[in-house]
Structure 1
Amino acid sequence: MNRNKYLPGIVLFIGLAALSVKLFGNPNFPEHPYKYFFPDGKEHQEASPHTSYPSSQDTIPIEERYGDFLNNPNPNPFDLNDPPIIEHSVDYDPATGQYIISEHIGDDYFRPPTYMTSAEYMDYQAKKQEREYFNSLSGLGPAGSSTGRVDPIAKVDVKNQLIDRLFGGTEVDIRPQGNIDLTFGAEFSNVKNPSFTQRQQRQGGFNFDMAIQMNVQGSIGEKLKLSTNYNTQATFDFDNTMKLDYNTDAFGEDDIIKKIEAGNVSLPLRGTLIQGSQSLFGLKTEMQFGRLRLTAVASQQKSEQEEISLQGGSQVQTFEVFADEYDENRHFFLTQYNRDNYEPALKDLPQIKTLFTIQNIQVWVTDTRNATENIRDIVAIADLGETSRMTNTNPGFQPPAIPAFTDLNGKPLPDNNANPIYSALVQDRRTRTVDRAVNELKAPPFNFQQGRDFEKVSARQLSPTEFTYHPNLGFVSLNVNIQPDQVVGVAFEYSYKDSVYQVGEIAEDIPQNTDTTTQNVLFVKMLKSTTQPVDLPTWDLMMKNVYSIGAFNVSREDFKLDIFYDDPGEGKKRFLPETNLQGIPLLRIFNLDKLNVQNDPQPDGVFDFVEGVTINTRSGRIIFPVLEPFGKSLGSQFATPADSAKFTYSQLYDNTQFVAREFAEFNRFTIEGSYKSSVSSEISLGAFNIPPGSVRVTAGGQNLVEGVDYEVDYNIGRVKILNDAILNAGVPIKVSFEDNTLFGFQTKTMLGLRADYELNKHLTLGGTYLRLFERPYTQKVNIGDDPINNRIFGLDVNYSNDAPWLTNLVDKLPLYSTKEKSTITFSAETAALKPGHSKAINESTAGDKDKGGVVYLDDFEGSVSTIDLRTPFIGSNGWVIASVPQNDEQNNNPMFPESQRRDTTLPGVNRAYLGWFRIDPSLRGQGSDQGNPYTLPIRQQEIFPNFTPTQQFGDTYAQIFDVNYNPGQRGPYNFDVPGGTSFSAGLNSGGGIQ
């Protein structure tokens, strides 16, 4: 037993001893450290290159290399190469005519240099090249192995007869250019928001992104070309292009396959009835069988076909405006007087019956540009200068019973002295100070309400180019966009008969103080406040009878406008059916057709083009000569109240534009027409990045030549007519082009086949077949978005030949001689379209009878938006504290009489505590709450016994929304005394959420 205990130690000792003898018992180990390098003990002598000192312990002996690296390279493949710090160099010494072969470490020699004569060096180079040549024939690399280092950018020679025949050469050339940016990181956040669950409070993850911008040009031989441009940060899909082109046209006439293209391809066609496409992505093949040449394409279409028509260089544009699309917050009456006299003044067009003439006007808007010039602090007063329909309710600031100034009809004229407001403002100097104006106007004697009766803002005076005004009708039109929270104020002087009146203060009359602490404000008339209550008189100052048609500098020539009524189920009509106005055109009903072309009071069925009254040609806006064209003005002409309620759109004038659009059943009137833009040789296509070659221009049905008759800037989408004779001829010009679709949900697929048969060099027959179809994402599609499945067939013939006899015939005419070449060109084509739709929207009956395609006018099921009642967050879809229930007129709810005291803190005296929350599922039933039924997790089967869990493993727990109500604890906004958290309201307490 004891012997076996020490046996492992004895064996270990014997093994260590044997290893020591093996390692340190070599009798050939040199005593001198440089004995291997100088075996004779003579350090000055060069060691023989054939002397070796093998080690009997090494399986593969490692020997030192003697001589230079050219004549005596290391033959041992297991030996390591020289480290990079050792520099090898071969230098020519012109003094001795020899080559110096040296190895350096910095400025010191690693080995003694050796020398070669010129003849020896030439012999060395010849043997080296011969060795490399035979290695290349054997498939060996530079190092004598079959796996050498290959530059992926270098040209690769593939000397193969088959590849040479297929690709027209063996040279492979790939030229990439670009960059790749990698972003890798991590982003974590911990938001200590108690309304979030603990799991929602901790958010984060890894952030990995890669940006590639690469352009690759490649080729194999001369037949196959590759071109690609890829950018992961491209704005649109059409910015990334890829094309593989295989072309054999230049190599012979016997090849059947002439061209194969893949990627971004095009299908240009010569005809005018069937136009090809330049923006396709797919496969295109061209083949030739004798005189027949076939072109086939299968691709996805990435563009839409558009067309623009012009007449004499002027572009014809159409417009369609609905009744609810009036120009909002742009046009304002200056006072209620101007609004009330608007329709009477235009009763006898083209004469404007008024003596009201504006002499000077200044317009102010809230400064949102941080401008430094023409900036003033203004106080805009709603009732300044008004004589009727006052906004404020203060009895001391109402107009006098006997007006100070009246017109010829006895109506009071607007003026600063038309009511007591302006005189009171001037007498109280505190209202003029910028830091006290608001408080003084809110306090007695004014008792004005900010936002309703007045506004105090830092405003910018508009320049004369930023607004226009009608001097007689008294309205102003702004050329700048006004935001809903901006204030618009005005000050103006006008003349009536021989007197001049003023409303508001002109900036030059009230100089601005340089002292910043006592700056004075400017009192102006308020046209628009930060809020626009529809029940205030200022709401009516905004004109709702002006519509923009989207044109500028409209000319009267060829301008057309009409009004249509969309009769449900019957289409658009120019009259109102089944009413007493049935035989009257809508233009005449809306007072837009009272004159003829000579402006005589005789309707002619054409829109009355009266500058500044019915149309603003500079901004392209249509103005109705009535205040509420689709409201009271229309309703007053019906014979029965039923017709008035059916056709009028009164909600458009009694509510905001947003609310009025909810009554879509009354929005059935449209303003439609066309106009010509100004004559110009440049035509804007309204698109950018147009596919090159997709623009076609015809003049009078004749195709124009790009580069000769017109030129195209495809980047900005502009066509310039170079031939002035085309513009001067006045012939209709049509420009057709392809617009790359920026956004699309349906995939369009195009299949096409083009055949050209050349009977001879003068006569060619052609045929075309195209099919364009879409595949919808769902079987439910809205009307107008139904997927198409169209087919088009076409035939064409083209003949072109020289006609010298025509030249000879013309030469026989007297006084005429020509030597120009004459040609005869003839072309004819015909096409047929077979429209259809995708079978994916077909609907079948129980008997499998196909009923055809079905589209949805409205999908009420798809418009359902769910609101999770379990969400405790405060917000638009969350719960908030409920208001105190109010009593009704029948005294059905007398429990909370304090709810009527809204101007005090009494409504909340009986409010008890009520809290709502949702516990994180991971915290339910944890710790000391394991036995608490209010915090335990609840399985859905406990609530719905027939519920089947969708999870394969485990139970499905319900997400519980908890409400905690304590009638004895004081709730929020409860200011009852005494203080503390408890109160004794008893059964009269309450709380709620809504």
Structure 2
Amino acid sequence: MIKIVLNKRVLFLSFVLIALFSNNVFGQKIVNLDTIENTVYLGNFKLKTPSLFKSKYTYDPISNKYIYNTKIGTIDIGIPLVLTPEQYRKRVREESIKNYFSEKIDLLKDEDVEDVSKLKNLLPDLYVNSNFFQSLFGGDNIELVPQGSISMDIGARYQKSDNPSIPSRNQSNIGLDFNQNISLSMNGKIGERLSISSNYDTQSTFDFQNLLKLDYTPTEDDIIQKIELGNVSMPLSGSLISGAQSLFGFKTQLKFGNTNITAVLSEQRSESQTVVSKGSGSFEEFSILPLDYDENRHFFLGQYFRDKYEKTVKTYPYLNTQIKISRIEVWVTNRASQTQNVRNVIGLQDLGESNPEKTQLDQYYANFFLKPGINTYPDNSVNKLDPDEIGNGLLNLSIREISKSKEGFGPISNLVNEGVDYSVLENARKLESNEYNLHDKLGYISLSQPLNNDEILAVAFQYSVGGQVYQVGEFA
């Protein structure tokens, strides 16, 4: 008696001469799907095709048919299969695919694989059956080897503050936190002449670290010796003119007899710097614009102060102005979720402005300016945005409601745009006096900490000229 354990089935087989008796005991029924038809099924047994069986295709030129038969030695087994040329090509292609994946699966199952390189690329080689393709690239094979990884982090952030001084709709907020990192590289070869290499990483520090290059190298007898596309370089051996690195574009090498020509058409993504060393220190000259040196910190309170700045400081240290700013409030986006000195604020871009060349709302509303002119002092009363005239002019009472602020522009509510003509700051924070410096004569402020690119700043200020008081905006 022989006891065989297979797929959790216990089979008891008794062999008595020619007669076969079997008894099956099932602990649990398991269905196995064989996607590669390279086995012979005998009842509950699944056996590999014996090597004694030999199958082959034979071409009959008279009938233009392919005959598929199986033999054991010289004895034919079964009925031969007759195929047309089209059926033959289809069958051979399907068998090649099955055999290929069967081989790859066997390699993955085998823990003692000697040649590890066979496991690296599970994709089959690609071929192009074209004489023109072979003459152009020196071969008919296409090989692409991609490598890399993609990771994604998805989360949510929920914040709640039980502060009765904050509106209920602002006491809680939720936001999505999504981050993805991609690191991919690919090396490829088309024929024997064209090679492809690329590298892309979202966490790369510099743009030039993301590379893309196509290299085409014909035969040595061709006029075109080499063609490069993507990240190229042009090193020069001479010391008079230095070559350029980190180029992105087109490069070719030509050969006419004994004359070699190298041409490059590209964008330079690098720059050269010269450092002079003297003693134990180094000196380097550079130039930088004031806006790039200290951005998002210094702000003029109005266009008037910007236009008069050069004239005012022309006689420095004497400032040619009678303006004296006596009161100011500065409001910014509340990133730290502070609960002290906070309130909702609406900032109007053209509030207190009188220069038609530096404003936009006058294009939407007739007689927008009440006191036009570049020399007019900034004040609420110079145009139709005067807060004291809400309900009697351009603005209506909806301007004081955060949810209806756009409707507050009355007849031009469909023409104004948030972020351009006005901005809404919910739960804005008022800056303390030690968080900024005010130049009360030149009309600008300097923040202790620069604003981020997505933050908003709004001001209301009051000043006097020759005893007369002017005001722009409303104070809390």
Q: Could you say which TM-score interval applies, normalised by the shorter chain?
A: 0.3 to 0.5
Q: Which of the two has greater strand per residue?
A: 2
- Bigger radius of gyration, 1 or 2? 1
Tell me the TM-score normalized by structure 1: 0.23
- TM-score for the superposition, normalised by structure 2: 0.44
